A = this chain, B = another copy of it.
Amino acid sequence: MADLPRVTIHDVAIVAGVAVSSVSRVFSNHPSVSPSMRLRVEAAVKKIGYQPDLVAQSLRTGTTRTVGLMVRDFSNFFYGEMTKAMVSSMSEAGYNLLIMNSPGDAEGDSKMIEMFAQKRVDALFLATASDKSEVIRKSINAFKNPVVLLDRDFSHLVAGRVFADHATGLQSATKDLIALGHRNIALVTGTAGIRPTRERCKGFNDAFKESKIKNGVAAPITGIPSTSNARAKTKELMNLPKSKRPTAMITGGVDVTIGVLECLSEMELTPGQDLSLVAGDDLPWLRVLRPRISTVSRDYQLFGLTAADLMLSLLSGEKPKTITLPTRYEARDTSRPV
Give the B-binding residues of A (Cβ under 8 A): 3, 51-56, 58-59, 64, 66, 73-77, 79-81, 83-84, 87-88, 91, 96-101, 114-115, 117-120, 144, 227, 258, 261-262, 264-265, 283-285, 287-290, 300
| Minimum CB distance partner of A286 in chain B | B285
Q: Summarize A's interface: helix, strand, loop or mixed.
A: helix
Knowing A52-B118, A262-B288, say if A74 contacts B74 (CB, 8 Å).
yes
Are A51 and B117 within 8 A (Cβ)? yes
Are B287 and A285 within 8 A (Cβ)? no
Copies of this chain assembled into the complex: 2
Q: Shortest distance in angstroms between A166's beta carbon and chain B's nearest beta carbon?
A: 21
Query: Which of B3, B54, B258, B283 has a CB less than 8 Å from the CB of A118?
Result: B54
Are B73 and A75 within 8 A (Cβ)? no
Are B66 and A98 within 8 A (Cβ)? yes
16 A-B contacts, Cβ less than 8 Å apart? A3-B144, A53-B59, A53-B120, A54-B120, A55-B58, A74-B81, A75-B300, A77-B80, A87-B99, A88-B101, A91-B101, A97-B100, A258-B288, A265-B287, A265-B288, A285-B285
Are A101 and B84 within 8 A (Cβ)? yes
Given contacts A3-B144, A83-B99, A261-B285, 13 further A-B contacts (CB under 8 A): A54-B118, A56-B59, A74-B80, A74-B81, A74-B87, A77-B80, A87-B99, A97-B98, A227-B284, A258-B288, A262-B288, A265-B290, A285-B285
A258: chain B residues within 8 A (beta carbon):
284-285, 288
| Minimum CB distance partner of A262 in chain B | B288
Bound together, the chains give a CA A309 to CA B58 distance in angstroms of 30
| Minimum CB distance partner of A292 in chain B | B265
Are B55 and A119 within 8 A (Cβ)? yes
Q: Shortest distance in angstroms between A119's beta carbon and chain B's nearest beta carbon?
A: 5
Are B287 and A119 within 8 A (Cβ)? no
Query: Which of B80, B119, B227 has a CB less than 8 Å from the CB of A76?
Result: B80
Bound together, the chains give a CA A288 to CA B99 distance in angstroms of 32
A99: chain B residues within 8 A (beta carbon):
83, 87, 96-99
